[in-house]
Structure 1
Amino acid sequence: MTSWAHGYVADSPYTFAYQAAQAPGNLAMICAMMGVDWQPTGRMTIADIGCGRGYTVNALAAANPGWSVIGLDYNPAHIAEAASLAERAQVGNATFVEADLAEMTDAEIDQLPELDMVTLHGVWTWVADPVRAGIVRLLSRRLKPGGLCYIGYNALPGFGADMALQRLFRHLAALQPLGTSPEKAHAAIPTIRALYESKPANLPPTGMLNRICSDELKLDAAYLSHEFLTAHWRPVFFEDLCADLAPAKLDFVGSAGFHENVPDVIFSPEQRAIYDTLPMGPAREFLADLVLQRPFRRDVFVRGLRRTDPVAALDRIMLAACRTLPEASPKVAVPVGTAELDAELWEPIAAALKEGPQSLGRLRSLPKGRNPNAAELLTLLGGAGYVLPFLRDVGPSEVTQRFNRIVAETYAVEGRRGGQFAMASPVAAGGIACTWIELAVAVQPEMAGPELPDPAVIAARILPGFEGEGLQTGTELVEELLRERPAFWRQFGII
């Protein structure tokens, strides 16, 4: 650990990842679902606290020229990388600030502009109390009345089963006096696997432990070190988070996960009967946390709650298909089973989405005889990843095309190992999740022409060093992408 890091891992960069939950278009759908009046506008100022390497900030800024997007992070290496990407892509409305919120005075906080939205993804659980207090001071002083706040954090009781695993990682890493934090985390894995095989009573086989001990799923050592080696790692109960945020006057809106806001797909009849007896707020959320497999919560708050009719708000939302729709209804796994639509409901909805963007209200009106519930239809379409918000009917911009190309070129090696990549879309006002190879294909200059390019030419270009069977497999993958994806890339202003 470096001396200035307050016990947090700072000797290696965090993973390069786009966080779709932070996109204002996604959060607007959650607000509509919960009957809260909030929509993104053409002019907004947004701050991402703990922005890491700045991918989400830069993607949002590239997709929204009227927004000012600020990334704050205590790690100068993160800030330098994020600012460099913004400069190379000429994303002039992205600003990055090296900031230690434990040390910032009120006067320094007040130098920031007033904020329409603040996001924190993977910050609260990993920082010391002085940093948490600084976050609350910033929210209290700079988040506008009516402004939105998204917080993603490790939650109790869901993450409680991994508290022993985190302590084990720290003990084992301490046995390695030399090496970087990722190297120490990686060195701990053989011992953890051996202990896992012995089935210790108080090291339960959680999803995280199963992933670490699986030969098929290779977790990035940098991710593990940032997740588990910080000295201040503390999952929290929802109600304790609310108590900490009270000075900022934040009201809870709902979860950024669609189905987690729909009691009918969360609770069994017996659980629902108990839920209905509890008052709205922390008691009901605690019951949901007992029922759901939810080690990581993604909560949405607003500073000044204004109610609106949720059905009318949802019906106004414009959606567009972002991937090929199946013939039969998609299925979404929910705690009580599987959510899906009958064929007579799904077929007219799918046919309309294949024609182009549609309002949720029109989609609900198409089936004959019964109109699907607005929240449940959004849960199905959004939860299965088949639609995104269609916020602007525009084509690609020079900034988004340049940004997407530079990301593809700069992070090719990381992309081939995996990661959460996205293409900046001016239509969705955010990113469209993709694999690195999808991004690499979409940014090729031939994609701007009237004819689709030769997949063999594209594969040879984006996969240098591949030959024989490997290159043939790559060519077949590119050919498949060229059959399925360009129509969606055009619809969302990618090409």
Structure 2
Amino acid sequence: MTSWSHGYVADSPYTFSYQAAQAPGNLALICAMMGVDWQPTAHMNVADIGCGRGYTVNTLAAANPGWNVFGLDYNPAHIAEAASVAERAQINNATFVEADLAEMTDAEIDQLPELDLVSLHGVWTWVADPVRAGIVRLLSRRLKPGGLCYIGYNALPGFGGDMALQRLFRHLTALHPVGSSPEKARAAVPMIRALHATKPANLPPTNMLKRIAEDETELDASYLAHEFLTAHWRPVFFEDLCADLAPAKLDHVGSAGFHENVADLLFSPEQREIYEALPMGTPREFLKDLVLQRPFRRDIFIRGLRRTDPVPALDRLVFGISKTLPDKSPNIAVPVGSAEIGPELWEPIVAALREGPQSLGQLRTLTPGRNPNAAELLTVLAGAGCVLPMLRDVGPSEATRNFNRTVAETYWREGRRGGQYAMASPVLAAGIPCSWMELAVAVQLGDAGGETPDPETIARRILPDISGDALEGAKDMVSELLRERPDVWRRFGII
């Protein structure tokens, strides 16, 4: 740890990832589902607090030339990297600020414009109380009335089972005084695996512990260090978070996860009876946290809630195919079993979407005499990744092409190891999640000027150091992408 980091890991960069839950189309979709009036506009001020290496900020800025997007982070290495990518990609509407919210004065906070949208993903759980207080001050002073706030955090009681694991990590890494935080985290893993094999009574076999101790593929050491080694790691109850946010006058909208907002998909009849007996708000959310396996919550709040009719709000939303649609409805696992769309509805929906983008209202009227529930329809279509909301009807821009090319070229080493990538889409006003290979192939097609190079040419361009079986495998991957993805990339303004 370093003296200026308030106990947070600062000796290594955080893992590189794009957070799709922060996409404005996704947030607007949830607001519509919950009957709350909020829509993204062509001109907005957006801030990502704890922006890390800036991928989400730069993606949003590239996809939205009319927005001013601000990334705030305490770590100067993160800020320097994010600003460098923005400069090389010629993104002029992204601003990165090295900010210690524990020390930031009200006058410094007020240098930011009024904000339409503020995001905090993976921040609240890991920072000290003075930083949390600084976050609330910023929201109180700069989030405009009617502005939206997204917060992703480790929640209780779902993450309670891993509190002992976090403490164990800290004790074991103390045995290794020399080395970086990721090196210390990696050194602790063999001992955790050995202890897990003994089935200790009070080290419960949570999904996280089993992922660390049983999977052959190790979790990224930087992720483990940033997740578990901060001195202020504290999962929180939803109602305690709401109490802390009270000075900012935020109202809860709902969860960024579709099915988590649909009571019919969450509770058994006995649980539903108790749920409906509880008052609206934090008591019902607490019951959800008892029922769901939800160690990480993704909550949406608004500063000044205005109600609207959810049915017409949802029906106005337009969606386009984001992956090859199967002949049968995807089956989405939910707490009460599964959610799917029957063939009498699924077949006409697929046929309509294959013809072009459709509003949800159009999809709901394809079968005479049927009126499928809009929220449940979305849970399957959007929850399975079959469709994405289309906010604009535009083609690729120089900004999105520059950004996608810069990311592919800058992070190719990390990309080949995995990671959460996205291509900036002016249609989506955000990023389309993808693998690095998808991104690299899309960039090659975009640079080809309408001609499609053969798979071997593309494979050799993006992976010049491979040969033999590895090259053959890369050619097969490129061939598959060329069969399945170009139509989607064109639809969302990538190429």
Query: Scaled by the length of structure 1, what TM-score is found?
Result: 0.99
Q: Separation in 2 of the partners of 1:246 and 1:100?
A: 22
C-alpha distance in 1 between matches for 2:31 and 2:375: 11
Partner of 2:263: 263
Displacement of 1:213 = 1.1
Any residues of structure 2 matched to 1:374-389 within 5 Å, and which?
Answer: 374-389=374-389
* Residue in 2 that maps onto 1:228: 228
- What is residue 111 of structure 1 aligned with on the other side? 111
The amino acid that maps onto 1:471 is L
Residue of structure 2 equivalent to 1:411: 411
Name the structure 1 match of 2:464. 464
Structure 1 residues 162-199: Cα deviation after superposition (integer angstroms, max 9, x where no partner): 00000000000111010000000000000000000000
Corresponding residue for residue 128 of structure 2: 128
Which residue in the other structure is 1:338 paired with? Answer: 338
Q: CA-to-partner distance for each residue in 1:395-445, whole Å, 9 max, x for gaps? A: 000010010011001101111111100000000000000000000000015
TM-score by length of 2: 0.99
- Between the aligned partners of 2:483 and 2:452, the Cα distance in structure 1 is 9
Identity of aligned residues (%): 78
* CA shift in 2, pair 1:445/1:483, >3 Å: closer
| CA offsets 1:355-414 (integer angstroms, 9 cap, x no match) | 111100000111233121001111111110111110111000001001001100110111
Cα distance in 1, alignment partners of residues 377 and 4 from structure 2: 48
Note the alpha carbon deviations across 1:283-318, whole angstroms, 9 max, x for none: 000000000010000000000000000011000001
The equivalent residue for 1:185 is 185
Partner of 1:437: 437
Q: Please give the residue correspondences for 1:354-373 in structure 2 after superposition, counting only pairs within 5 Å.
A: 354-373=354-373
Contact 2:46 2:115 in 1 (8 A): yes
Task: Report the 3-state secondary structure (helix = DSSP H, G, I; strand = E; otherwise coil) of the residue aligned with 1:224.
Answer: helix
- Cα RMSD of the aligned pairs, angstroms, is 0.8
Question: Does structure 2 conserve the Cα–Cα contact (< 8 Å) formed by 1:22 and 1:119?
Answer: yes
Distance 2:267 2:105 in 1: 45
- Decide whether the 8 Å contact of 1:446 with 1:452 is kept in 2: no
Q: Return the alpha-carbon distance in structure 2 between the equivalents of residues 333 and 103 of structure 1.
A: 44
- Pairs aligned (count): 495
AA in 2 matched with 1:369: G
State the partner residue of 1:51. Answer: 51
Distance (Å, rounded) in 2 between the aligned partners of 1:184 and 1:445:
42
Give 5+ residue unaligned stretches, structure 1.
none
SS of aligned partner of 1:443:
helix
User: What is the match of residue 144 of structure 1?
Assistant: 144
Quick check: 1:212–1:218 contact (8 Å CA) kept in 2? yes
| Offset, 1:459 | 0.8
Match of 1:6 in 2: 6
State the secondary structure of the residue aligned to 2:214: coil
Change (3 A) 1:412 1:371: same
Q: Distance in 2 between the 1:427 and 1:24 partners? A: 11
Asked whether the 8 Å contact 1:323–1:488 carries over to 2, the reply is yes
In 1, distance between residues paired with 2:116 and 2:66?
13
1:446 touches 1:453 (CA, 8 Å); kept in 2? no
**Residue aligned with 1:253, SS:** strand
**Counterpart contact for 2:445–2:452, Cα < 8 Å:** no
Residue number in structure 2 paired with 1:214: 214
SS in 2 for 1:274: helix
**Contiguous gaps of at least 5 residues in structure 2:** none
Q: Structure 2 counterpart of 1:494, which letter?
A: I
- Matched with 2:37 is 37
Tell me, yes or no, if the aligned pair for 2:170 and 2:229 is still in contact at 8 Å.
yes
SS for the counterpart of 2:470 is helix
The Cα of 1:466 is off from its aligned counterpart by 1.2
* Contact 1:146 1:302 (C-alpha < 8 Å) held by counterparts: yes
Secondary structure class of the residue paired with 2:155: strand
Q: For the residues of structure 2 that align with 1:489 and 1:446, how far apart are their CA atoms?
A: 10
Residue in 2 that maps onto 1:84: 84
Partners of 1:170 and 1:453 lie apart in 2 by 51
Structure 1 segments of 4+ aligned residues over 6 angstroms from their partners? none
Would you say the 8 A contact 1:44–1:116 is kept in 2?
A: yes
- Alignment partners' CA distance in 2, 1:406 and 1:58: 11
Instruction: Tell me the CA shift for residue 446 of structure 1.
Output: 6.3
1:225-264 Cα shifts (integer Å, max 9, x gaps): 0000000000000000000000000000000000000000
Residue 46 (structure 1) shift: 0.3
Give the deviation of 1:447 after TM superposition.
5.7
